[in-house]
A and B are shown apart, each in its own frame.
Chain A
């Protein structure tokens, strides 16, 4: 990335007169602000509604609440078992993320640094599985999971997540490993390091940028996915937060303030992750990797 601190040197609008330039910059800022409002308003609207009482919302759907109430949050926790759902989502996302990353790491190492015979074919085979989206195979996938005795279990969902995250993880790690000079690995071999040690103690640490990008991409879709947990877990004890929210919103007697509170609860963990890892997510680690 070009140095972002060189404030306007990369600007394309450099050569006009100062007055015109000022006008252009104000117009640009104005457009950007309008789009930012469009991007953020739905969240603000939902948050504000979650703090209203039913009566307050009925009389004043669009304005600020007349008084704050946390009743909706209390009710959300009463109607769905938030800690359990959160636990389910966390364990399945973490499991899927971990399995997918480890399997991709193994493939990437074997294909790029062990010069596995037919390695390019293995690589092509795995990334070509990208053309099979879960929507297309959802029922046979469910049947297969049932046949394996994994229906309604964490393992069933974790393995599905891992498989559907694998093509992109493998691609990213293989592309990253290709850029690491073979001499580095050779040197470690000459020093007598075993292959597994080279993989975990040499390649793994230098792959942090690629691992970060994979984790972000996979975290976002696994955490947020609806179809796989909906079909594999249904409305069971082990279902995920997103299925829980979808089912809550389908109950006939929920008020809008109540469902708003449910939505805020569902998106809060992702917001926290976003604020914590904002720099890694936005600095191009993600976008650079999906070029």
Chain B
């Protein structure tokens, strides 16, 4: 599949080039990376698939069971619940895309102190999600500061047990994740905005373009690829960013209200000790996540491939 073993030099088109032994040295240089990803990513993936075909209960010897784990998984309401929850999380995607964009546009106006705002917004991203989760356990507590503030400004009916309601818990989890990651989006958009040249804006303004005209006709088209990138990144990562937050905030509860596929894999494998079933759920998550992140890979490949 991968051509790494041919030491034959490609014929050189340009004259006067001294040909160093690209072959042997080149192969030696790519070996460490290939070994790393094969041993710690590809082999575990293959083993996950094989494991998913075995019935394992506790510490008993696994027995080959064809696709019985998958059948059991598909009959399990918890499995469907976890993907239904994931779908609900995905419904918030427009907020994940628009909120950082809006904030980036506001920062781009360069009001005094814009650099401080940029620094403050990125700070949550630097903090470990597990720390974020434990922090928000206090913020969202029934007698915590969020409810105190809601009551203080006369919105008492909205004060609720954020982490204990069957629908508020998933909402809270998603909101905390957004808190942790929006800064990365703001920074991504700002880097896109920085490619919009001042001259273009100046020229459009001299032609009498107003704020909305500029936004819709000049800025949005230039930002299209950055918006696309951020959308794909959010879509592919939403399902795998949540583990430490769930671990610290809700452990999948109350009931199964915040059970997402990645947490279900962990729970099934390490707490119910049903490794075969855990691997089967993992494969389902893999198919789902891989289909989306293939877009990221395609984009990266287009940018880094050489002329052939």
Instruction: Give chain A's interface residues, CB within 8 Å of chain B.
Output: 1-4, 6-16, 25, 28-29, 31-33, 35-36, 38-43, 45-46, 49, 61-62, 99, 102-104, 106-107, 109-112, 114-133, 135-141, 143-144, 148, 159-160, 162-164, 166-167, 170-171, 174-175, 178, 186, 189-190, 195, 220, 223-227, 231, 242, 245-246, 249, 256, 259-260, 263, 266-267, 270-271, 273-274, 278, 281-282, 284, 286-288, 290-291
**B224 in contact (CB, < 8 A):** no
**B128 in contact (CB, < 8 A):** yes
The answer to whether A178 and B285 touch across the interface, beta carbons within 8 angstroms, is no
Chain A nearest Cβ from B43, distance in angstroms: 6
**B41 in contact (CB, < 8 A):** yes
- Cβ-closest chain B residue relative to A198: B20
The answer to whether B301 and A224 touch across the interface, beta carbons within 8 angstroms, is no
Known: A12-B214, A103-B36, A139-B51. A117 touches B10 (CB 8 A): yes
Contacts of B143 in A (CB 8 A): 61
The answer to whether B138 and A46 touch across the interface, beta carbons within 8 angstroms, is yes
Picked from A12, A227, A256, the residue with its CB within 8 Å of the CB of B108 is: A12
Picked from B22, B45, B192, the residue with its CB within 8 Å of the CB of A291 is: B192
The answer to whether A118 and B243 touch across the interface, beta carbons within 8 angstroms, is no
Contacts of B29 in A (CB 8 A): 106-107, 109-110, 114, 116
Binds A, one of B64-72, B75-83, B90-98, B291-299: B291-299
The answer to whether B27 and A116 touch across the interface, beta carbons within 8 angstroms, is yes
Contacts of B115 in A (CB 8 A): 4, 282
The answer to whether B26 and A114 touch across the interface, beta carbons within 8 angstroms, is yes
Known: A13-B109, A224-B128. A115 touches B285 (CB 8 A): no
Contacts of B132 in A (CB 8 A): 42
Question: 10 closest Cβ contacts across the A-B interface?
Answer: A118-B3, A224-B128, A287-B191, A163-B40, A116-B26, A140-B47, A137-B44, A114-B22, A106-B29, A131-B290
Interface residues of B in 140-161 (CB under 8 A from A): 143-145, 148
The answer to whether A267 and B111 touch across the interface, beta carbons within 8 angstroms, is no
Interface-centre pick from B1, B127, B192 (highest chain A CB count, 10 A): B127
Residues of B contacting A: mostly:
helix
Chain A nearest Cβ from B61, distance in angstroms: 15
> How many angstroms between the C-alpha atoms of A261 and B4 in the bound complex?
52
The answer to whether B105 and A12 touch across the interface, beta carbons within 8 angstroms, is yes
Contacts of A143 in B (CB 8 A): 44, 47
Picked from B40, B105, B226, the residue with its CB within 8 Å of the CB of A164 is: B40
> How many angstroms between the C-alpha atoms of A103 and B34 in the bound complex?
9
B: interface residue count bin: 35 or more
- Cβ-closest chain B residue relative to A10: B198
The answer to whether B3 and A29 touch across the interface, beta carbons within 8 angstroms, is no
The 6 sampled A-B contact pairs (Cβ below 8 Å) are: A15-B210, A106-B30, A127-B304, A135-B266, A137-B44, A226-B129
The answer to whether B240 and A62 touch across the interface, beta carbons within 8 angstroms, is no
The answer to whether A39 and B183 touch across the interface, beta carbons within 8 angstroms, is yes
The answer to whether A111 and B306 touch across the interface, beta carbons within 8 angstroms, is yes
> How many angstroms between the C-alpha atoms of A201 and B25 in the bound complex?
17
The answer to whether B130 and A226 touch across the interface, beta carbons within 8 angstroms, is yes
The answer to whether B306 and A2 touch across the interface, beta carbons within 8 angstroms, is no
Q: Residues 195-207 of chain B: 1 if any A CB is under 8 Å from the residue's CB, otherwise 0?
A: 0111001100100
The answer to whether B34 and A118 touch across the interface, beta carbons within 8 angstroms, is no
Chain B nearest Cβ from A156, distance in angstroms: 9
The answer to whether A39 and B124 touch across the interface, beta carbons within 8 angstroms, is yes
Picked from B44, B103, B126, B198, the residue with its CB within 8 Å of the CB of A140 is: B44
**B107 in contact (CB, < 8 A):** yes
Interface residues of B in 22-74 (CB under 8 A from A): 22-23, 25-27, 29-30, 32-34, 36-37, 39-45, 47-48, 51
Chain A nearest Cβ from B298, distance in angstroms: 9
The answer to whether B297 and A46 touch across the interface, beta carbons within 8 angstroms, is no
The answer to whether B248 and A246 touch across the interface, beta carbons within 8 angstroms, is yes
The answer to whether A130 and B47 touch across the interface, beta carbons within 8 angstroms, is no
The answer to whether A263 and B40 touch across the interface, beta carbons within 8 angstroms, is no
Contacts of A103 in B (CB 8 A): 32-33, 36
Known: A25-B111, A135-B262. A36 touches B117 (CB 8 A): yes
> How many angstroms between the C-alpha atoms of A104 and B122 in the bound complex?
27
Picked from A12, A175, A260, the residue with its CB within 8 Å of the CB of B304 is: A175
- Cβ-closest chain A residue relative to B268: A139
**B272 in contact (CB, < 8 A):** no
Interface-centre pick from B124, B126, B198 (highest chain A CB count, 10 A): B126
Chain A nearest Cβ from B276, distance in angstroms: 10
Picked from A104, A178, A225, the residue with its CB within 8 Å of the CB of B306 is: A178
The answer to whether A40 and B123 touch across the interface, beta carbons within 8 angstroms, is yes
Contacts of B103 in A (CB 8 A): 32, 35
Known: A11-B110, A28-B111. A42 touches B41 (CB 8 A): no
The answer to whether A270 and B26 touch across the interface, beta carbons within 8 angstroms, is no
Chain B nearest Cβ from A233, distance in angstroms: 14
**B190 in contact (CB, < 8 A):** yes
Chain B nearest Cβ from A210, distance in angstroms: 12
The answer to whether B306 and A282 touch across the interface, beta carbons within 8 angstroms, is no
The answer to whether A28 and B109 touch across the interface, beta carbons within 8 angstroms, is yes
